[in-house]
Structure 1
Amino acid sequence: MTHIVWDWNGTLFHDVDAVIGATNELFQSYGLGPYDVEGFREVYTRPIWVAYERMLGRPLREGEWELLDTGFHEHYHRLMEVCNLAEGAQSSLRAWEESGRTQSLLSMWGHERLVRKVGEFGIDGHFRRVDGLRSASGGHKAEHMVEHLRALGIDSAKVVVIGDSVDDAHAALHVGARAILYTGGMTRRSDLEGVGVPVVDSLADALDFV
């Protein structure tokens, strides 16, 4: 493997508290919650509207997803300001770069906010390319992975994707890349292990697998 595609939220960026806090504020008016980390992991899945339907116990109504998505991000963008990089993120990025290999970042978060936040942490120089969503949020990552690798001009057989969700693994498999899943995000370890790819508890362990 000569190239890593990193995920951002829940992987390099440890934003679990902000995600749960924003979700609790969002669903307070529905009489749901508050969720703690383990409780939220029990209902979490992607696409996120499926998780919301689990929480509500019913399908979303016409226009409800857009309202929930907007409300979530209003809370999240305030709460995530106090979140930091995951333990070992900077040292892992540095170690991979010093090994002479390449890396990039693909996120399902808004592109402009992603680029700004990565720059604030001073880690943008580690990545050959940084891509976030340039349109509506909430879908699957696979097609975005296709475009990301095409833009990089990299053979997917040389790529490993490191992320915190089942969706990251599916995106990797969709393009013929390998995947390693990290337990620092929203997804239960048992769900990650069900995909059949390596599952690790630290970013340093992920590099060891690569």
Structure 2
Amino acid sequence: MRHIVWDWNGTLFHDIDAVVGATNIVFEPYGIAAYDADGFRAVYMRPIWTAYERMLGRPLDDGEWERLDAGFHDHYHRLMLECGLTADAVGALEAWSATGNRQSLLSMWTHDRLGPKVAEFGIDHHFSRIDGLRTDSGAPPAMGGHKAASMAAHIEALGVDPANVLVIGDSVDDAHAAQHVGARAVLYTGGMTSRADLHALGVPVVDTLTDALDHA
């Protein structure tokens, strides 16, 4: 492998506490008991609205997804200020840079927030490209959906052969996005998806980001 595409939320950025905390706040009015990290992982899936329907035990009403999503992000953007990089994120990025190979970052978080946050941690120089959700129309980007189309656009913009790409992420969706473009995937257990769901995909599963590099 000569290029790594990293995921952000739940992979390089250890934000599980903010995700679970924000989710608990927006679902509190529904009388749903608060989740811990493992409980959240048991219901998490993408697209996110299907996870919300699983939590509620019913389909979402018209406009309900938009309200829940807006409320979640309001609370997430406050709670994430207490979150930091995954313990070995910097070491893994530096180790791969030292090989002379390239790496990039693709997130389903909004692009206008992603870039400044990555720069804040002082790791932006490791990436040949950083992409989050963005729109050319001025309308809010569609949050919560699948990553496959974004991955295809990211790979095309990089101009790399997908056969030479390793995707490192924390969700089933990361693996599906890699498969969509013909890349390989390694999945990390410290994010938002249960270990059982990760293993069910038949791709390598690791407990540290450093271990993920062994598959590159």
Q: TM-score when scaled to structure 2?
A: 0.96
Question: Residue 81 of structure 2 corresponds to which residue in structure 1?
Answer: 81
User: Residue by residue, what CA displacement relative to the aligned partner does 1:32-57 show, whole Å, maximum 9, x if unpaired?
Assistant: 12110111111111111001000000
Distance, in Å, in 2 between the alignment partners of 1:114 and 1:33 is 31
Residue 150 (structure 2) pairs with residue 144 (structure 1): yes
Question: Residue 121 of structure 1 corresponds to which residue in structure 2?
Answer: 121
Question: Residue 156 of structure 1 corresponds to which residue in structure 2?
Answer: 162
Distance, in Å, in 1 between the alignment partners of 2:128 and 2:61 is 41
Aligned identity (percent) is 69
Q: How is 1:48-127 mapped onto 2 (pairs within 5 angstroms)?
A: 48-127=48-127
Distance, in Å, in 1 between the alignment partners of 2:215 and 2:161 is 20
The offset of 1:209, in angstroms, is: 2.0
Question: Residue 186 of structure 1 corresponds to which residue in structure 2?
Answer: 192
Q: TM-score when scaled to structure 1?
A: 0.99
Distance, in Å, in 1 between the alignment partners of 2:160 and 2:38 is 37
SS at match of 1:65: helix
Moved over 4 A (4+): none
Question: Residue 37 of structure 2 corresponds to which residue in structure 1?
Answer: 37
User: Residue by residue, what CA displacement relative to the aligned partner does 1:160-206 show, whole Å, maximum 9, x if unpaired?
Assistant: 00000000000000000000000010101010011110000000110
1:192 counterpart letter in structure 2: L
SS at match of 1:209: coil
Unaligned runs of 5+ in 1: none
Q: How many residues align?
A: 210
2:130 counterpart letter in structure 1: V
